Structure 1
Amino acid sequence: MNYTQIVKEDRGSEEMETFHLAIVCVILSAIALSSCHCHAITNVNTGFVCSEADGSATENAFQTNLKNLLDTLVVKVPVSNGFYKTETGKKSNKLYGLVQCRGDMSAGDCANCTKNAAAAALKECPKSKQVWTWFTWCFLRYSDQSFFGIMDQASAAITNDTDFDDPYVVSKGLDFMGGLASTAPNQPHMFQKAVLDVGKSGKRYGMAQCTLDINRADCGKCLDSQLTLFRTIIGNKRGWETYGSSCFMWYHDYLFYFNISTPASEGARRPSSHIGVTIGVIIGMLALLAVV
């Protein structure tokens, strides 16, 4: 297994640098799923980030607000087209949180993923006031500082380090995903999936999505940034995924998404087919977290 860390942006603050490096270490250890055998329809925890431990995070007022926040997200997101943001508490005790489910998720899968993400956040980051948790099917984030509408380019890329593709197909694949990056922001829910036919090499499947708290222009910038940042990591692979705070991309040589035509709020059922895939993991991290 290989690891590639990409750290940019000089804040001019030793405290900020320490915070960023701590985040990099946490997410690297969390996402490193060595030789994981999984299914295309399996929902797994792909990573988490915790801010530095804060003793006041265990106080009753914070814990009460956090419970109310997470309970609200679990209840509201499956009936809100797979995205919901809210805030709880007052003044210094205020908390902000959101959940973004993948656009092909049913209401039931979205709800279950949110429950799992909330449980993982409490388990992995019990003394943190700023938490990011990524699952295959959803992304959960909460903080004691408002982040709604602020595009964050912090991202991680996951790919198999030996599963190389034909150079011609690689070129087509990158252009294909670039097209998704351009068109996804204009979709009703800033979510887009498509199929690329590469002849004898078969098909490639792509998906792109942004969190619905950011605007369409920032969505495009976020997706383009991931393609640019991780180009040397993903550029010659048959499959890869990027997970960020504001946008996400997936590219594989197998059908990994669900072909549902109704939104999560209408409770669409997912198909029962299981498609297997074995992957290794290599990670790149851009530490641009702007919340302190």
Structure 2
Amino acid sequence: MDMFHFGIVGALLPALILLSSSRPCRADSNANTGLQCSGADNSTTENEFQTNLKNLLDTLVLKGPVSDGFYKTETGKKANKVYGLVQCRGDMSAGNCANCTKDATAEALSKCPKSKEVSVWFTWCFLRYSNDSFFGIMEQGSVAITNDTDFDDPYAISKGLFFMGGLASTAPNQPRMFQTAVLDVGQSGKRYGVAQCSLDISRGDCGVCLDAQLASFRTTIGNKRWWETYGPSCFMWYHDYQFYFNISMPASEGSRRASSYGRVSIGVTIAMLALLVVV
């Protein structure tokens, strides 16, 4: 059964909705993994705000895929100003990035039509916009996704977190703060990892963000055969098959649950199962 673990550190976050999805066992697919909306604000119906938001989203859809998968911009003035960014996973083609950005934009407008602050997570991209500038501010609120019944063997477990810790240390130094890696665990085969940070934060903050995810979810993900973490500033993936696409990236050796860290009001839906948690 697909489940989610939450853990938020830092500032108070708006409501977060996480959606489960089925995914092929040996191929990566673009699952919708989460949606975060601020409370409804009737001022969003004002023509100027709506015009600015449309221009912002159109620009992100147009520029993100042809800007190495990352683009940030702002539109409008004063109270109706909107800030936004899109970040595609570093192995995405321009076409996949464009499709994901379009899907994320449609999801944001459909599920959060009156929100001024929206974040949408897909497996292949992350979209965020707000009426307040967030560029360059590292945020550690995250969700971890694993499968309760999919446990790894002891030998792989002993190496998996150390392996991903190595990625957390080296990814910030990569040109796009994105890195893939492969771990050979002998008879159990190989494990594949990816770490990535949003390109609006510093390299130092990237390392802090990835380390915080591993520390916060250590007991949740430690014995799992696969897991993923998603946040506003950094992301990690760990699987027993090569889920990422073959691109020129440095490599090194070394069923779905969710968690979060800090203070947050969270709404979770998993195939019509609703759970409200207030930390």
Shorter-chain TM range is 0.7 to 0.9
Aligned to 2:276: none
In 1, the alpha carbon distance for the partners of 2:241 and 2:65 equals 27
Give the whole-Å Cα distance in 2 for the aligned partners of 1:194 and 1:5.
26
Higher helix share: 1
Q: Which amino acid aligns with 1:179?
A: G
Structure 2 letter corresponding to 1:256: F
Residue of structure 2 aligned with 1:193, choices 172, 180, 194: 180
Question: Residues 96 and 142 of structure 1 are in contact (CA less than 8 Å); yes or no, is this contact kept in structure 2?
Answer: yes
Find the aligned partners of 2:189 and 2:173 in 1 and give their Cα distance.
28
Q: How does 1:60-79 map to 2 (within 5 A)?
A: 60-79=47-66
Q: 1:288 to 1:260 in 2, by over 3 A?
A: farther
2:128 aligned partner: 141
Distance in 2 (CA, whole Å) between partners of 1:32 and 1:144 is: 29
Match in the other structure for 2:146: 159
Alignment partners' CA distance in 2, 1:285 and 1:72:
31
1:281 is aligned to 2:256: yes
Tell me, yes or no, if the aligned pair for 2:5 and 2:143 is still in contact at 8 Å. no
| Contact persistence 1:155–1:287 (CA under 8 A) | no
What is the TM-score with the length of structure 2 in the denominator?
Answer: 0.88
User: How many residue pairs end up in the alignment?
Assistant: 257
Which aligned segments of 4 or more residues in structure 1 are displaced greater than 6 angstroms?
A: none
Query: Is residue 85 of structure 1 aligned with residue 72 of structure 2?
Result: yes
Of 71, 89, 97, the residue aligned with 1:102 is 89
Per-residue deviation, 1:261? 3.3
Given residue 75 of structure 2, which amino acid in structure 1 is its aligned partner? T
Provide structure 2 residue ranges, at least 5 long, that are not aligned to the other structure. 250-254, 265-279
Aligned-partner SS, 1:38: coil
Q: Deviations over 1:209-258 (max 9, x none)?
A: 00000000000000000000000100000100000000000000011000
TM-score (norm 1): 0.84
Q: CA deviation at 1:288?
A: 5.5
Alignment CA distance shift 1:285-1:197 (3 Å): same
Question: 2:35 aligns to what SS in structure 1?
Answer: strand
SS at match of 2:149: coil
Please give the root-mean-square deviation of Cα atoms over the aligned residues, in Å: 1.7
1:31 matched to 2:19 = yes
- Aligned identity (percent) is 69
